[in-house]
């Protein structure tokens, strides 16, 4: 988990757990990436179904 946190967000898990501001920044970034992914999936899904 440490390597994943470090490579994905640039902070270690211990710092993530101790510092509220770092945790909030990471969580906002995760939420933004999640929403971006959901929009991409919805767009692809609509394109697939409109070509039937």
CB atoms within 10 A of CB 5: 17
Tell whether the model's pLDDT for residue 52 goes beyond 70: no
pLDDT in tens, 4-37: 999 999 999 999 999 999 999 999 999 999 999 9
Task: Say if residue 1's pLDDT is above 90.
Answer: no
Tell me, yes or no, if the pTM score tops 0.85. Answer: no
pLDDT value at position 50?
A: 84
């Amino acid at each position: 988990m440490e390597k994943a946190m470090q490579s994905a967000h640039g902070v270690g898990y211990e710092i993530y757990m101790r510092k509220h501001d770092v945790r909030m920044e990471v969580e906002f970034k995760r939420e933004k990436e999640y929403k971006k992914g959901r929009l991409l999936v919805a767009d692809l899904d609509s394109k697939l179904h409109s070509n039937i």
